[in-house]
Structure 1
Amino acid sequence: MSHPLSFMLCLAGFTALAFAMDRQQHDLIGRSLPASVTRALRIAGACALLLALGVLVAWQGWGLGLVMFSGHTSLTAGIVHVTLIGSARVYARASKH
C-alpha cells in the first residue's frame, strides 16, 4: 500500500509545483493565478513530497526509504514533464486550425 500512496503523493506534489509556475499557468489556463494561489500550490506540492518521503521512510527506514523516494520522484517528475510537453503540442496543433 505504501508504493501507490507515495506514488500518488509525489504525482500530486509535482503537479501542484508545475501549476505554481507562471509559464505553465499561461500555457494551461491562459493567465497567471493570484500570488496567494501560487504560494498555496507551492506549499501543497512541497508538503505532498515531504509526506511521501515520510511514508516511505516510515515503511522501509532511511536507507531504502530514500532510495525508493528517489525512484518515485524521478518517475512522477518524468510523467508530469511528458504530460506538459504533450499538452503543449496538442494546444499548438489545435491553435493552428
Structure 2
Amino acid sequence: MSAPGFLLALVLAGGAWSALAMAMDRHYADIHGRGVEPAPPLRMRLRGAAVLGLLASLALNVHMQGWGVGLVAGLGVLTLAALLLVLAVSYWPARLPAIRRALLLGALPLMVWWVSAVTPF
C-alpha cells in the first residue's frame, strides 16, 4: 500500500465518520447550539455521504491490496479514522466543521494523484 493511497483511504473514512456524527442530534447541537437539530433532508444527505465515504474507503483498500489483505486493512483504516474522530469530537467539538473542511481539502489532491497514478493517459 502506498502512503498517498493510505492517506486517501483515511481521509475518506474520516470525512464519512464526520458526516455521520453531524447527522446525530447531540453532535449537531454541540456545533450549532443546544436544542438545534439537523433538518430531515440534511440528516439524510449526511447519512448518504457517510455511507458513500465508508464504502469508498473500503473499496480503495480492496483495490490497492486485493480482497484478502485489503478488507482487513480497510477495517483497520475505518477503526483508526473513527478513533481520531472520537478524540476530535470529545476534545474539540467546536472545531469539527474546520476538521471536515480540512479533510475535504486534503482529499482533493490525493484523489487527483490517485486518478493520475492509476489511470494511464
Establish whether TM, by shorter chain, passes 0.5. Answer: yes
Question: TM-score, length-normalised on structure 1?
Answer: 0.86
Q: Distance in 1 between matches of 2:37 and 2:5?
A: 35
Q: Distance in 1 between matches of 2:14 and 2:81?
A: 5
The C-alpha deviation readout for 1:42-88, integer Å capped at 9, x for no partner, is 00011001011111111111111111111111111011111111035
AA in 2 matched with 1:45: A
Matched, 1:48 2:49: no
In the TM superposition, structure 1's runs of 4+ consecutive aligned residues that sit over 2 Å from their partners are none
Supply the RMSD in Å over aligned alpha carbons. Answer: 1.7
Alignment counterpart, residue 70 of structure 1, candidates 59, 75, 91: 75
Moved more, 79-88 or 50-59: 79-88
Residue aligned with 2:41, SS: helix
**Percent of paired sites with the same residue:** 32
AA in 1 matched with 2:47: R
Question: TM-score, length-normalised on structure 2?
Answer: 0.70
Matched, 1:11 2:45: no
Where does structure 2 lack aligned partners over 5 or more consecutive residues? 94-121
Q: Distance in 1 between matches of 2:41 and 2:48?
A: 11
* 2:19/2:49 contact within 8 Å kept: yes
Q: Distance in 1 between matches of 2:22 and 2:7?
A: 22
Partner of 1:33: 38
AA in 1 matched with 2:58: L
